[in-house]
Structure 1
Amino acid sequence: MNWQEERDATLRDARCVVVKVGTAVLSNGRDLNLDVLDNLVEQLSVLSGQGRRVVLVSSGAVGAGRTALRKLPGAPEAVGLSGKQAAAAVGQGRLMHLYDNAFSRRGLLTAQVLLTRDDLKSRTRFLNIRNTFSELLSWGVIPVVNENDTVSVNELKFSDNDNLSSLLVNPLEADLFVNLTSIGGVLDANPLENPEARIMPCIEDIRALNLDALCGGKSAEGTGGMYSKLLSAHRVAQLGVPTAILPGREADVITRLFAGETLGTWVRPERRTVSRRKYWLAYQADPQGTLVLDAGAADAVRHHGKSLLPGGITDVQGGFEAGALVRLVFGHETVGVGLSNYNAADLLRIKGLKRHEVAAILGDAHYPEVVHRDNLLLDAAL
């Protein structure tokens, strides 16, 4: 199928849809834009009425909190991490109240779900989240998801709701990821460097894109923007799930897409998909260290389905324990990520050695592989 046929088939058959909306779409620059929010709820209600399971991932709690705080005497400013977390605590209930009322007017019930990255990092909690969502969706309830900003710390933050959404696609077993943006779609060049940049109706192979060049690099804060949207689209493409990046401020943009109109940018899924376990393994946490490979090891891992052995490692960077997620690199390229069977200190002792040499240092009770191929995801979108 060409991409239009693939898109039409996906839209026709999609049973579970994850929709993400950010502050840039919901806000008018100072306050929440209630017309945009109400129109979004109307569109999701239409999808639900068609028998589709809908999950909404929504930012806006901090903005809603700041709006409320301006009404207090002295109008306190929410600055710094603690200020933002306090503003989120003030605003999350207000944001949820708006969604709850808007869906209720259309005869639908909502559920608030607040998550930290630690919730998805634990396999037990990950499975519990999957079961909870499954029950809610079977009841026809609309889960409204956000990061639990009030309790999140930097080490356990998703970094942005694009990332959170891409991780939820896995346990939800979603068929489509819709990411609403404040512009018309993905431009074919950096508009700061090329004012003639045009929206791409389809991205055939997202792995082939140079995101740094296209988006001007990742923002200093690493949050939001087209960079994180494309990174998330790359991730879910590995699961075989397409992404529709749509102009979220346009009226009825989601229902128009499902009605067959060409809008925004369609990101095609990959043909060779990864297992849901490997997807969870690779993205449930940030890599704790880096293993530098020689050319032979990089080729064996990349092209021949081999595990990483000690002899193929030329350098070990960072401090980490056995079982930690590590990045595998060759030159300036990331080969993949995987779980290390060794801690950093032991790897520094055995890097570059053959199996019998490793045994002489560590004894017979050692792993033959540093990273087993079953615990390795190639071409990870980091």
Structure 2
Amino acid sequence: MSRTSNRIETLNNAKRIVVKIGSAVLTTSEGINLGLICRLADQLATLHERGVDIVLVSSGAVAAGRRSIPGGHKLDDLPARQAASAIGQSRLMHEYDETFRRFGLVTSQVLLTRDDLRHRSRFLNARNTLSRLLEWRVIPIINENDTVAVQELEFGDNDTLASLILNVVEADLFINLTSAAGVYDSNPDKNPEAKPLACIENIHDLDLDAMCDGKTAVGSGGMFSKMRAAHRAAQLGVPTLILAGKERMIIERVFNGEDCGTWIVPDEKSVSRRKYWLAYHCDPAGDLIIDAGAEKALLSGGKSLLPAGITDVTGDFKAGELVRVVTADGKSVAVGLACYSAGDMRRIMGSKSCDIEPILGKCPYPEAIHRDNLLLDAAL
């Protein structure tokens, strides 16, 4: 099957779609772009009428609140930005609610922090709530809970949040609306010869740092964060479509067969949803540096990581915490759950599995990281 026919078939068969819209698309210098919200609601209502479940991940709360701050105070620190979000979120949701109501649709507000998805029980609660809303044919509108989020609990940007929501709702398509026309082979702001990419067949082969740099003026992300989100979606087996969100009726045109934006093909073999959750809901607590033999065994053989292939350990992690697996030259290979604490890992690194018990006095695991708890090529 050609990539074009695959795209058309996926669009025609999509039953649950996550749509992400950023601040740079949704707002202007005057605040919320009401005309754009109306066009967006019109397009999503058409999909909804076809029986498609819609989940909307929307930025814009801080930008929406900026114009309503009394006294003209500046957003020069975290409390000010969080306060602006508290002002703007209600205004943003009011506009969404009123606009979608005109199309006979009910919306719901879902505000999340990373902590809500990091703990398994709360993750499952979020999944059950969103599942029931979609069962009721309600459109959940999700945003980060900026008012209470602290740095270590932030998603960082709503591209990251959307990539995690794909797993929560078990979506089969990700549409990312951005201020650009799609993905280019280099930064078009710096390279006038940059060429648009209609399709990316293997996102893992791209050097995202070289292709994408910088952030948008009003948002917290940029093309790098959108490509990282697409990288994660590909691992989950979900295709991504990056579109110019400001172009009139762009979603409708795409579903009518127009070849717009950049289509990012998912991996043929997707990772399990459990591995995805393990890898992307916690920050790595340390690094395991491995030799060339271990790297080959992981990448080519699908093996577990054994202590014999570890040459160094950084960080102070406990057994069961997430760690990064990197090569001697600093290339990230994988993330996974450590079978041993950092202290024990330093004692057994470079040793054969049969030597673990003589060194530690016990050997609960022959591996440093079992392959069932290991995700290769993680987009952190």
Short-chain TM bin = over 0.9
Superposition pairs of residues 220-259 of structure 1, within 5 angstroms: 223-259=220-256
Match of 1:344 in 2: 342
What is the aligned partner in structure 2 of residue 5 from structure 1?
5
- Secondary structure, aligned partner of 2:277: helix
**Which one of the candidate residues 208, 211, 216 is aligned to 1:214?**
211
Quick one: distance in 2 between partners of 1:222 and 1:49?
Answer: 31
State how 1:84-233 maps to structure 2 within 5 Å: 84-216=81-213, 223-233=220-230
**Which residue is 1:39 aligned to?**
39
The 2-side partners of 1:156 and 1:321 are apart by 20
Deviation (angstroms), 1:30? 4.0
Q: TM-score, normalised by structure 2?
A: 0.96
Deviation, 1:319, is 1.8
Counterpart position of 2:66: 66
Distance change >3 Å, CA 218–CA 90, structure 1 → 2: closer
Q: Percent identity?
A: 57
CA distance in 2 between partners of 1:376 and 1:358 (Å): 21
Corresponding residue of 2:359 = 361
Task: Say if 2:275 is the partner of 1:278.
Answer: yes
Equivalent-residue separation in structure 2 for 1:59 and 1:217 (angstroms): 18
SS at match of 1:68: coil
Tell me, in whole angstroms, the C-alpha distance in 2 between the residues paired with 1:263 and 1:360. 62
**One-letter amino acid matched to 1:238:** Q
1:324 aligns to what?
A: 321
Does the 8 Å CA contact 1:212/1:218 hold for their aligned counterparts? Answer: no
Q: How many residues end up aligned between the 2 structures?
A: 378
- Partner of residue 300 from structure 1, selected from 297, 301, 326: 297
Unaligned segments of structure 1, at least 5 residues: none
Q: Which runs of 5+ in 2 are unaligned?
A: none
Amino acid at match of 1:231: R
Following superposition, the deviation at residue 380 of structure 1 comes to 1.0
- Shift, 1:379, TM fit: 1.1
Opposite residue 36 of structure 2, the aligned amino acid is V
Structure 1 contact 25–180 (Cα < 8 Å) conserved: yes
- Given that 1:309 and 1:371 are in contact with CA atoms closer than 8 Å, whether structure 2 keeps it comes out as yes
Counterpart AA for 1:62: V
- CA deviation vs aligned residue, 1:22-63 (integer Å, no higher than 9, x gap): 000011234121111211111111111111000000001111
2: CA distance between counterparts of 1:169 and 1:29?
31
Two-structure CA RMSD over aligned residues (Å): 1.6
Aligned 8 A contact 1:159 1:222 in 2: no
